[in-house]
A and B are shown apart, each in its own frame.
Chain A
Amino acid sequence: MSAKLPPGLQLEKVDDRIMTLNVGPQHPGSGHMRIIIKVDGDYIVHTDPDPGYVHRGEEKMAEYRNYITNIPHLERPVIHDSCNILYPYCLGIEELLGLEVPERAKYLRVIAAELNRCVYIQYWLAIYGIFLGHSTMFMWPTGDRELLIDLLEKMTGARVTHAYFVPGGIRNDVPPNFEDVCLRQVNYFEKRIKEYADVFYDNPILISRTRDTGVLSREDAIKLGTTGSVLRASGVDFDIRKKEPYDVYDELDFQSPTLKEGDSYARSKIPWLDMFESCRIIRDALKKMPKSGSVRVKLKPKPKGGDTEIYRRVESGRGALGMYIVSKGKPQPYRLKISVPSFRNLIAMPHLLTGEKLGNMPAVYWSLNYWPVEADR
């Protein structure tokens, strides 16, 4: 009977051993997505992620707006990492229009992007803490995050949705005393995140919950095309900032942390180690930055691109974020595809969760550095 029905309408075989659970969209451990999980006793036997609850049609809307008016809504998928999602877009438009970014703007962009990366990771870490029932780990990062949000607010004028990057530079220069304040805040911030080791990363409860759960081997990580912290936790040293340096990343002194274990603990530790590197980058950039100069190239209204296509990518807080822009000589892009790291890491979710215990689901799920709004676009 089931052979004649179309695939979507086939009746499910009822099994008294296997139980289907809907995790989300209203679930303290799911976020804005649903994971359909089948459990046999305490073990997950089948996982089917069901994203799309925040699918807002960004790519379609971008075809109707010109290159400048696209900026505000393109940053909405990750508002707490908004500089990094606009970065590949601006790089792409600059390549399209042949713009040269002033030197000072390049450094300020790097500083804004790294501050934003820390803001993103702190929020992610806070949610990871609350997923594991560790309330202190919610309160500390949320509080320390406000320091950097203050800095970004000073820089850009907005708390989270900055719209700071524009093709040809940045929107406005920083206030005069910014460098001293930034250095002081970043130093304090680095001192604070060192303390997370005591309360979170060396905590035996965390270690016993996340060690050896959801192990992603190096081969699987490569085969599944994962990116960012998931990839680097599995022992692949791949960071776009190192491999394909954009703006001034090739002049700055930093490393990309890599771990070999590939379990949830390693995946949760990589972003934390990333924050130290971000602090290093910010300090180095503040030192090397030209003290004055213009920060923006003047653009014509409604700039038009040629008949070409561009794919640019950057390393965001979650991994490689690419933008594929097809231009047909109009002020609007003909097609804009945002290749987001969350969507690329989604494929690892059924791979990792199947075979795990149900209790490990939040620890594995959020360690994938997955932000559902971004994955749905």
Chain B
Amino acid sequence: MYVTARENKKNEGKVVLKMSSDENNTNVEKTEEAPPVPEFENPLANLILKKFPSATIAFANPDRTRVNVSKEEIIQTASFIRDELHFDHAESVSGVDYPDEKQIEVVYHLGSYDDPSLSKQIMILATRVPREDNPHPGNDTTKLSSLYEIFPSVAFHERECFEMLGVYFEGNPDNRRLLLPEDWADIPPLRKDFDIKGR
């Protein structure tokens, strides 16, 4: 019963996924039309769209909101989410590898302890960084500004993401290896072109 209720809610609030390549089109649409306020029953999505028109809302469920931003805008968006929307900690930072699109997606799951009205809500902040076929972690273009100054709780998560996917976080005070052995010389293991033995 619970699952069906969730499903219904999801379908009500669901919005078509907009890829980053469509950003320009959607921007044009948004500037022409009125902002799509009635589309989201979720007020957080509207606030973010009003402030950052280039961001796209992938979905806005009653308890999950996903915002895709460009990697240049991530610091401003995260500051806005912390200061205006009262999300105060990061639950996880995960990287997802998309070798076909030559991009790596970094997904921050942000939550709120202080604001009781947001305790069910998870703000999913996603951005994409370019990916190189021959990674040289730390010295190639796979770089992203760290959110350490805004959410100090991302520190170890970003360290993990650096060694697992090779995304270098500029501004993180500690970019050393965390989980892998000291003599690890292969490519970052969570990339899709790293094959485990026997598979």
Q: Which residues of A contact B (CB under 8 A)?
A: 7-8, 51-52, 55, 57, 59-61, 64, 94-95, 98-101, 103, 106, 222-226, 231, 236, 238, 243-244, 246-247, 309, 311, 313, 320, 322, 324, 326, 334-335, 337, 339, 343-344, 346-347, 376-377
Other-chain contact of A238, B113, B151, B155 (Cβ < 8 Å): B113
Instruction: Give B contacts to A, CB under 8 Å.
Output: 1-4, 6-7, 63-64, 66, 88-92, 94, 96-97, 107, 109, 113-114, 119-120, 122, 124, 151-157, 160, 164, 175-176, 178-181, 189-190, 194, 196, 199
Q: Across the interface, do B96 and A326 meet the contact criterion of CB distance under 8 Å?
A: yes
Q: A57-B196, A222-B113 are in contact. Are A324 and B3 (CB under 8 A)?
A: no
Closest to A337 in B: B94
Instruction: Select from chain B the residue with minimum beta-carbon distance to A100.
Output: B3
Q: Are A244 and B88 in contact (CB under 8 A)?
A: no
- Inter-subunit contact A52/B179 (CB<8 Å): yes
Can you offer 12 A-B residue contacts whose CB atoms are under 8 A? A52-B179, A55-B179, A55-B180, A64-B199, A103-B1, A225-B91, A225-B154, A226-B153, A231-B113, A311-B124, A334-B96, A344-B92
Cβ-defined contact, B196 with A60, below 8 A: yes
Q: Which of A52, A225, A236, A311 contacts B122 (CB 8 A)?
A: A311
* Main secondary structure on A side of the interface with B: mixed
Residue contact A238 to B119, C-beta cutoff 8 Å? yes
What 19 additional pairs, Cβ within 8 angstroms, besides A57-B189, A311-B124, A324-B92? Answer: A60-B190, A60-B194, A95-B6, A98-B7, A100-B3, A103-B1, A224-B89, A224-B152, A225-B91, A226-B153, A231-B113, A246-B2, A322-B91, A322-B92, A339-B91, A343-B156, A347-B156, A376-B179, A377-B179
- The reply to whether A339 and B190 form a contact with Cβ atoms under 8 Å apart is no
Q: How far is the CA of A64 from the CA of B109 in the complex (A)?
A: 24
CB distance from B6 to the nearest CB of A (A): 6
Least CB distance from A315 to B in Å reads 12
> Across the interface, do B89 and A223 meet the contact criterion of CB distance under 8 Å?
yes
Bound CA span A243–B114, Å: 12
CB contacts (< 8 Å) of B2 on chain A: these are 101, 106, 246-247
The answer to whether A51 touches B179 (Cβ under 8 A) is yes
User: Does the CB pair A337–B92 fall under 8 Å?
Assistant: yes
B153 and A322 contacting across the interface, CB-CB below 8 Å: no
The 8 Å CB contact of A320, one of B91, B97, B154, is B91
Q: Kindly identify which residue among A57, A100, A106, A236 contacts B113, using a CB–CB cutoff of 8 Å.
A: A236
Cβ of B64 and Cβ of A311 under 8 Å apart? yes
Check A324 against B199 for contact (C-beta < 8 Å). no
Contact assessment for A223 and B190 in the assembled complex, using a CB-CB cutoff below 8 Å: no
Q: How far is the CB of A223 from chain B (nearest CB, A)?
A: 6
Smallest CB separation, A338 vs chain B (Å): 9
Whether A243 contacts B153 by the Cβ 8 Å rule is no
Measured between C-beta atoms, what is the minimum distance from A203 to chain B in Å?
Answer: 32
Query: What's the least CB distance linking A264 to chain B, in Å?
Result: 21
